Amino acid sequence: MSVKLNDLLAETAKVREQIKVVQSEEKVLKSQHLELESQISIRMQEQGLDKISNDICTISLKTEVVPTVEDWDSLHEHITETNQFELLQKRMSATAYRELVATGFDVPGVKSTELTRINFRSA
């Protein structure tokens, strides 16, 4: 005999609640982890160290340059003029795409794919 749809809904609600609990715990753990890494980094820099280790782990400091866009219009203009599209990640905005398709606009090189998702709302 197959499982009743009502039982599947109840189980879905139960699993979603468990996911929320785990995500909340993950958020706390990530915050603790970030704080610990910050303390380690500060102490290592104060002592002039760039690598430390013990019998549990090895930690090294690495400084890297990352972008923070302050003017998207200027950046887009630069990318268009220089064809430096490698500065962007290859990911489309699904919302913007749906809006264009809804207005009858065709986006070259892109095909529409329909995904069926369950929209869950607690009672």
pLDDT digits (tens, 9 = 90+) for 49-101: 999 999 999 999 999 999 999 999 999 999 999 999 999 998 999 999 999 99
Average pLDDT score over residue span 22-37? 97
Can you tell me the distance from the alpha carbon of 88 to that of 82, in angstroms, rounded to the nearest whole number? 13
Q: What three-state secondary structure class fits 40? A: helix
Can you tell me the distance from the alpha carbon of 114 to that of 10, in angstroms, rounded to the nearest whole number? 27
Q: Is the pLDDT of residue 4 over 90?
A: yes
Instruction: Tell me which residue has tokens 């039982």.
Output: 7
pLDDT-derived band at 123, boundaries 50, 70, 90: confident
Q: Is the pLDDT of residue 25 over 90?
A: yes
pLDDT confidence of residue 119: 79
pTM confidence score: 0.68
